[in-house]
Amino acid sequence: MVNYRSILVTGGTGSFGKKFVETILTRFPHIERLVVYSRDELKQFQMAQQFPEKQFGQLRYFIGDVRDKDRLLRALEKIDVVIHAAALKQVPACEYNPFEAIKTNVIGAQNVIEAALDRGVKRVIALSTDKAAAPINLYGASKLCSDKLFVAANNFRGDRDLKLAVVRYGNVMGSRGSVIPFFLERRGTGVLPITDPAMTRFNISLQEGVDMVLWTLRNSQGGEIFVPKIPSYRITDVAQAIGPECEQPIVGIRPGEKIHEEMITASDSLNTIDLGSYYAILPSAGAHTVESYCAAHGGEPVPLGFAYNSGTNPDFLTVEQLRGLIAEHVSPPSSSLA
């Protein structure tokens, strides 16, 4: 991080953006400019109350949309690093408003790439989702397309000092619209609706997601899709951890929803490397082969046919572990999970 003086975060007022900003302000006081780029003036105002200008003079707030390339070009002047977290991510909303999702998640991604190329940005890290692996809904398909755009951009960067990479992880504990805040809100009703009792999800905290992005900034060679090794949970165990006394009616899965999350498919195994705490999916056509990447940067090729799925993951959280993590990362101190 000592090589970077300025960072811009698209979607900077979201759950990830706020945690990322908090982490940068705490760990890297040498950063001279930290730009929050988002559409919502109210959320920017609220964020400015949390991080006052007098105390954090390096913070800047830009009203803007990733759909607006001209505004991105203005915002990216003298920016070293872009963290691209802006997206339309609610599955039902994307299914109902498909082209709106494409305009933000696909065209917006290309706008970020082209603005980064034109403004001399050094690093771009794009956030992806498990739903981009073997997608069955428009959100996942649009994010897969976005991933492909960021990976392929490494092929036409020319002689620029620019590397672009993607981080892909599963359910973020406590993020807006996710199941744990929903269950906490509904616990008082005595009913926690279960989509399917077999449903599983990967689990990662916001801080772990931020730490993964920072790790990627230090270690990416450009073109990788990085996937973390994280535990899974059963949706019924989450309900038990939050409201053991609550009824759990089965309501059925929503359109475009999977029973289990996937982050690496068997088809990806040909280009996937085990790096210890993370996997790296290399582009099928690029400067690095699996062999040359392992020789230069370490790691081991995964077995042929390897897949990474929340249902077959060997690491599952128990009800007690879930209760502890929820109390630590999501539930307010006054709210008891006992």
Which residues are known to be catalytic? Answer: 131
Token duo for residue 120 = 């001399």
Residue with tokens 């994280």: 230
Residue 237 in contact with residue 196, Cβ under 8 Å?
Answer: no
**Backbone conformation region of residue 316, classed left if phi is above 0, alpha if psi is from -120 to 50, else beta:** beta
Residues 6 or more apart from 286 whose CB is under 8 A from it?
A: 151, 154, 155, 223
Task: For residue 293, give the nearest of 213, 225, 210 by alpha carbon.
Answer: 225
Vertex 245, ends 194 and 330: CA angle to 5°? 70
287 DSSP assignment: S
Rounded Cα distance between 161 and 142, Å, is: 28
Token duo for residue 18 = 């706020």
Rounded Cα distance between 295 and 289, Å, is: 10
Task: For residue 216, give the nearest of 265, 166, 258 by alpha carbon.
Answer: 166
170 SS3 class: coil
Report CA 61 to chain centroid distance, whole Å.
Answer: 21
H or E, element range at 117: helix 108-119
Give 188: exposed, middle or buried? Use CB within 10 Å, 0-12, 13-18, 19+. exposed
